[in-house]
């Protein structure tokens, strides 16, 4: 797991080559990494979902036997005007054919269905592909026998977004490979592994009632061990960044748990939380806040710890003779610049995800004291602050570890 650097080239004098990192330091790093890997393996074995993953048929949004045929948009009509506040008519005003979409099915027939105004305003136009929902014949017959009046057997289900998503993904993959080459390929493989861990471990384990914080730490540890060594290669520098990330994740977990407890968050801040509570009673919603913070903060922590570790090694290469204290101070100046930009990156990332909430805040005109009575707003604040706390503390911790592990100072010959 060693990491070797040659002597940097200088004009006017020759710097002595690096003194190797002491064997005792290497052993300590190796033992800590091994303990991290062992703890991760124990977590995976203990928490890995066993048996049938809970499923709830109430989440089916269509009756049994419904189909979802694809169709091509032929034409759309303008959205129906909004109903006046003092109107006694519960239906839309205006022409009876407003807010409608006509689409051609694959068998050549056409169907006209009603669509919401936001669908019309999204840019949907003739030639786009949409998905319709078709009720089965037996459901239509049963409803008719019971006296129900169905407007139509077909209804609008959604827009087929596969083509633009595939194009965007292809552009992303090509750019990553062109710019980062083999490192980019490793990063893409790591991304796939992280997605597999989320879908195959995190979600099923949480649905079976596993502790969310333990699941979050285990998933982050497993992803970290694979991603760091696959992307950056096995080396003392990579192991140092891994240890810094472990420290950051632990601090983030503490901040997220204490923040959720102090704010008395229930985990039911919106309709999704309420639906999850009703349909998946085993999920520990209160601790999901801390778990979400861990998963969201992992990528930023990984970036910061790698950058700080690389900064320490490069500063040592530029000046092998500087003392550890001077090396730490120089690396922290870089870390402060990185921290300043990363903190507001976290804040604005959460703000972008919570933009509808921000609009509701502006619309309400209420004071901040009143707004923080809302759990969804408070939960976003807790997530942001917990991630930022872990990030802020991870920078000096990672820098200190890197300075201790990096090659010791030497004197010019």
pLDDT the model gives residue 338: 82
Based on the fold, state whether residues 93 and 32 are members of the same structural domain: no
Distance CA 393, CA 397 (A): 6
Tell me which of 99-103, 167-171, 176-180, 345-349 is least confident: 345-349
Q: Is residue 413 part of a domain?
A: no
15 falls in which pLDDT band (50, 70, 90)?
very low
Which region holds residue 65: left if phi is over 0, alpha if psi is between -120 and 50, else beta?
A: left
Q: Looking at the predicted structure, is the pLDDT value of residue 43 above 90?
A: yes
**Contacts (Cβ under 8 Å, ≥6 apart) of 161:** none
Q: How confident is the model over 193-209, as a mean pLDDT?
A: 88
pTM, entire model: 0.73
Residue 13 lies in a domain: no
Question: To which H or E segment does residue 262 belong?
Answer: helix 236-262
In a domain, 235, yes or no: yes
Residue 218 pLDDT more than 90?
yes
What pLDDT score was predicted for residue 288?
Answer: 80
Domain housing 169: 23-50+164-405
Say how far apart CA 285 and CA 137 lie, in whole Å. 40
Mean pLDDT, residues 324-329 taken together? 92
* Domain shared by 134 and 42, yes or no: no
179 and 289, same domain (yes or no): yes
Provide the β-strand partners of residue 213: none
Query: Quick check: 71 and 154 in contact, CB under 8 A?
Result: no
Res 340 pLDDT > 70:
yes
Residues 70 and 46 in one domain: no
Instruction: Indicate whether 187 and 276 sit together in one domain.
Output: yes
The percent of residues in the chain predicted with pLDDT above 90, rounded, is 20
Number of domains, the chain = 2
Residue 329 CB-half CA count within 13 A: 5
Assess contact for 66 and 135: CB atoms under 8 A.
yes
Res 240: pLDDT = 92
Q: How far apart are CA 221 and CA 394, in angstroms?
A: 16
In this structure, the answer to whether residues 285 and 242 fall within a common structural domain is yes
Please write the tens of the pLDDT for every residue from 348-407.
777 777 777 777 767 777 666 666 667 777 777 888 888 888 888 889 999 999 999 988
pLDDT of residue 399: 93
Instruction: Indicate if 304 and 376 belong to the same structural domain.
Output: yes
Rounded-to-integer distance, Cα 257 and Cα 293, Å: 9
> What DSSP string runs through 312-354?
HHHHHHH-TTS-HHHHHHHHHHHHHHHHHHHHHHHHHHHHHHT
pLDDT digits (tens, 9 = 90+) for 69-105: 889 999 888 887 765 445 444 444 445 578 888 899 9
- Tell me if 265 is assigned to some domain: yes
Could you say which DSSP state residue 122 is in? Answer: T
CATH of residue 131's domain is 2.40.50
d(CA 169, CA 192): 13
Identify the residue with better confidence: 155 or 43. 43
pLDDT at 13 (0 to 100): 38
Which of 102, 134, 159 is the endpoint of a domain?
Answer: 159
The pLDDT, as a whole number, for residue 173 is 93
Q: Are residues 154 and 172 in the same domain?
A: no
pLDDT band for position 149 (cuts 50, 70, 90): very low
pLDDT at 362: 73
Q: What is the mean pLDDT of the chain?
A: 79
Note the Cα 359 to chain centre separation in Å.
22
Question: Is 98 part of a structural domain of the chain?
Answer: yes
> How many C-beta atoms lie closer than 10 Å to residue 341's C-beta?
8
Cα angle for residues 118, 124, 128 (degrees, 5° grid): 145
Same domain, 191 and 277: yes
> Binning pLDDT at 50, 70 and 90, where does residue 56 land?
low
pLDDT at position 1, please? 44
Last residue within a domain, chosen from 159, 176, 207: 159
- Domain end (from 132, 159, 186): 159
| Pair (132, 240) in one structural domain | no
> What's the confidence (pLDDT) of residue 7?
37
Please indicate, yes or no, whether residues 242 and 285 belong to a single structural domain of this protein.
yes
Do residues 222 and 296 both lie within one domain?
A: yes
């Amino acid at each position: 797991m060693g990491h070797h650097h040659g002597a940097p080239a200088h004009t006017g004098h020759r710097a002595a080559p690096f003194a190797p990192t002491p064997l005792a330091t290497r052993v300590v790093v190796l033992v800590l990494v091994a303990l991290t890997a062992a703890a991760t393996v124990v977590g995976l074995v203990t928490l890995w979902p066993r048996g049938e993953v809970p499923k709830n048929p109430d989440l089916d949004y269509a009756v049994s036997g419904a189909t979802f045929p694809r169709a091509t948009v032929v034409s759309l009509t303008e959205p129906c005007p909004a109903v006046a506040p003092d109107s006694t008519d519960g239906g839309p005003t205006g022409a009876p054919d407003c807010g409608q979409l006509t689409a051609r099915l694959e068998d050549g027939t056409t169907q006209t269905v009603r669509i919401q105004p936001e669908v019309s305003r999204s840019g949907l136009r003739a030639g786009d592909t949409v998905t319709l929902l078709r009720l089965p014949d037996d459901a239509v017959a049963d409803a008719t026998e019971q006296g129900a009046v169905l407007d139509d057997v077909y209804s609008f289900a959604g827009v087929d977004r596969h083509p633009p998503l595939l194009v965007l993904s292809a552009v992303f993959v090509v750019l990553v490979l062109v710019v980062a080459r083999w490192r980019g390929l490793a990063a893409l493989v790591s991304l796939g592994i992280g997605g597999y861990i989320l879908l195959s471990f995190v979600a099923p384990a949480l649905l079976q009632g596993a502790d969310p914080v333990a699941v979050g730490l285990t998933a982050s540890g497993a992803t970290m061990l694979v991603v760091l060594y696959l992307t950056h290669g096995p080396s003392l520098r990579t192991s140092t960044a891994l240890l810094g990330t472990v420290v950051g994740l632990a601090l983030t977990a503490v901040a997220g748990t204490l923040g959720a407890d102090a704010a008395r968050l229930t985990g039911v801040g919106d309709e999704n939380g309420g639906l999850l509570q009703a349909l998946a009673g085993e999920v520990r919603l209160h601790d999901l806040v801390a778990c979400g913070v861990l998963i969201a903060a992992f990528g930023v922590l990984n970036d910061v710890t790698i950058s700080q570790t690389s900064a320490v090694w490069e500063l040592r290469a530029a000046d092998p003779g500087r003392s550890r204290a001077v090396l730490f101070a120089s690396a922290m100046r870089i870390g402060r610049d990185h921290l300043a930009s990363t903190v507001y990156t976290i804040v604005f990332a959460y703000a972008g995800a919570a933009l509808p909430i921000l609009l509701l805040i502006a619309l309400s005109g209420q004071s901040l004291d009143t707004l923080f009575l809302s759990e969804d707003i408070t939960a976003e604040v807790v997530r942001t602050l917990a991630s930022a706390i872990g990030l802020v503390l991870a920078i000096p911790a990672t820098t200190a570890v890197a300075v201790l592990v990096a090659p010791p100072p030497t004197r010019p010959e």
